[in-house]
C-alpha cells in the first residue's frame, strides 16, 4: 500500500490529542498543545473521547463486572491483548503493516492507556510486565508514517504510567531501561514521540532515584548520549521555523 493511501486511511490527529490530554501533568505537553493550536488557528479540543457513548464490547469485557468471573476473564483478556501485540510485531518485522493491523493495535494500546491512567490498576499493570512487551514497538526504526503513530501511542503508555511520579513506578521504569528507551525515541521518533519521551524523562528526573541513576558512574555512556541528543535537538529546532518545541529547547 502506498504511503499516501496509508496517510489518507489513518488520521493521527485524534490519537495525538487524546495522548497529549492523558499526559496531563507535564509543562512540555501543555506548551506543545498550545503551539499546535496557535499554528492551526483552532480552539483546543476538550477531552471527550472517554465520555462518548460506550460502544458495543465483547462478552469477555462485560464479564469483568462479575467478581466470580473477573480473574479468569482478565487472564483471557490479557492473552488476547498480548496476542495482538505479538502479531503486530511479526508484521512489523516482515514489513507488511496494514492500516487495519495498525488500528487493531491502537485499540489495544488505548486500553493500556486507560489501565495506566487508573491509580487502582497502574501498579498491577507494571508488575505483570505487560508494558515491557511494548518496548520493541518503540525502538523499531521505520521510515513509515503509519509506524510513527504506533510508536507515539505505545510510548504514551509509559508516559501515562510515569506521570504520577510514584516511586514504585519510577523504579520499575529504571529497571526497564526507560531512560534509554526515551533517549532513542527522542533521537529517531516524530515530534510527538520526542515530546512524550521528554515527558517521561522529566518524570524520572524529578524523582531522587531517577536522578541518582542517570548521574551514577555506571551510566556515564548513557549520560553522554543524552547530552548529544539534547545538542542535536537544539541544533535541529534552532534552524527550524517551527515554534512547537520552545519548551524543549529551554529544558535542554
Task: Please report, for the domain that includes residue 120, its CATH number.
Answer: 1.25.10.10
Per DSSP (E only), the strands in 31-163 are none
Kindly report the backbone phi and psi dihedral angles of residue 97, in degrees, each rounded to the nearest multiple of 5, phi listed first. Answer: -65, 145
Query: Could you write out the three-class secondary structure of 45-62?
Result: CCCCCCCCCCCCCCHHHH
Q: What confidence score (pLDDT) does residue 155 get?
A: 94
Q: What confidence score (pLDDT) does residue 47 get?
A: 35
Confirm whether 52 is domain-assigned. Answer: no
Per DSSP (E only), the strands in the chain are none
Kindly report the backbone phi and psi dihedral angles of residue 235, in degrees, each rounded to the nearest multiple of 5, phi listed first. Answer: -65, -40
Confirm whether 48 is domain-assigned. Answer: no
Confirm whether 218 is domain-assigned. Answer: yes
pTM for the structure as a whole: 0.73
Confirm whether 51 is domain-assigned. Answer: no
Confirm whether 200 is domain-assigned. Answer: yes
Confirm whether 228 is domain-assigned. Answer: yes
Q: What confidence score (pLDDT) does residue 215 get?
A: 86
CA angle, 52 as apex, 49 and 203 as ends, to 5°? 25
CB atoms within 10 A of CB 85: 18
CB atoms within 10 A of CB 252: 16
Please report, in tens digits, the pLDDT of each residue of the chain (252 residues total): 444 444 444 444 455 555 555 565 555 555 555 555 555 554 444 333 333 333 334 676 677 677 787 667 767 777 788 889 999 999 888 888 888 888 889 989 988 998 898 888 888 889 888 999 999 999 998 777 778 889 999 999 999 999 989 999 999 999 999 999 999 998 888 888 888 998 899 899 899 999 899 888 888 888 888 888 877 777 766 665 555 555 544 444
Helix axes 27-40, 13-22, angle to 10 degrees: 150
C-alpha 10/C-alpha 26 separation (Å) is: 27
Count of domains forming the chain:
1
Residue (of 98, 88, 94) closest to 3 by Cα position: 98
Please give the residue range of the domain that contains residue 109. 3-43+57-251
Q: What confidence score (pLDDT) does residue 68 get?
A: 81
Confirm whether 151 is domain-assigned. Answer: yes
Confirm whether 49 is domain-assigned. Answer: no
What 234-240 contacts at long range (C-beta under 8 Å, 24+ apart), as own/partner pairs, is: none
- Spatial contact of 244 and 35, defined as CB atoms under 8 Å apart: yes
Amino acid at each position: 500500500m502506498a504511503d499516501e493511501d496509508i496517510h489518507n486511511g489513518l488520521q493521527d490527529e485524534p490519537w495525538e490529542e487524546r495522548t497529549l490530554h492523558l499526559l496531563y501533568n507535564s509543562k512540555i505537553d501543555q506548551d506543545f498543545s498550545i503551539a499546535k493550536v496557535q499554528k492551526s488557528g483552532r480552539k483546543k479540543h476538550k477531552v471527550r473521547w472517554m465520555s462518548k457513548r460506550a460502544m458495543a464490547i465483547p462478552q469477555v469485557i462485560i464479564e469483568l463486572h462479575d467478581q466470580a468471573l473477573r480473574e479468569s476473564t482478565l487472564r483471557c483478556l490479557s492473552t488476547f491483548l498480548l496476542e495482538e501485540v505479538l502479531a503486530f510485531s511479526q508484521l512489523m518485522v516482515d514489513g507488511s503493516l496494514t492500516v487495519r493491523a495498525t488500528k487493531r493495535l491502537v485499540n489495544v494500546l488505548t486500553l493500556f492507556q486507560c489501565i495506566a491512567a487508573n491509580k487502582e490498576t497502574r501498579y498491577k499493570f507494571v508488575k505483570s510486565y505487560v508494558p515491557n512487551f511494548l518496548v520493541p514497538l518503540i525502538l523499531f526504526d521505520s521510515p513509515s508514517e503509519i509506524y510513527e503513530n504506533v510508536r507515539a501511542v505505545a510510548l504514551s503508555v509509559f508516559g501515562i504510567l510515569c506521570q504520577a511520579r510514584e516511586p514504585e513506578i519510577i523504579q520499575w521504569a529504571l529497571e526497564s531501561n526507560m531512560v534509554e528507551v526515551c533517549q532513542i525515541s527522542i533521537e529517531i521518533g516524530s515530534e510527538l514521540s520526542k515530546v512524550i519521551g521528554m515527558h517521561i524523562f522529566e518524570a524520572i528526573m524529578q524523582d531522587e532515584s531517577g536522578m541518582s541513576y542517570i548521574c551514577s558512574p555506571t551510566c556515564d555512556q548513557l549520560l553522554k548520549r543524552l547530552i548529544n541528543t539534547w545538542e542535536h535537538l537544539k541544533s535541529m529546532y534552532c534552524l527550524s521555523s517551527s515554534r512547537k518545541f520552545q519548551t524543549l529547547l529551554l529544558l535542554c
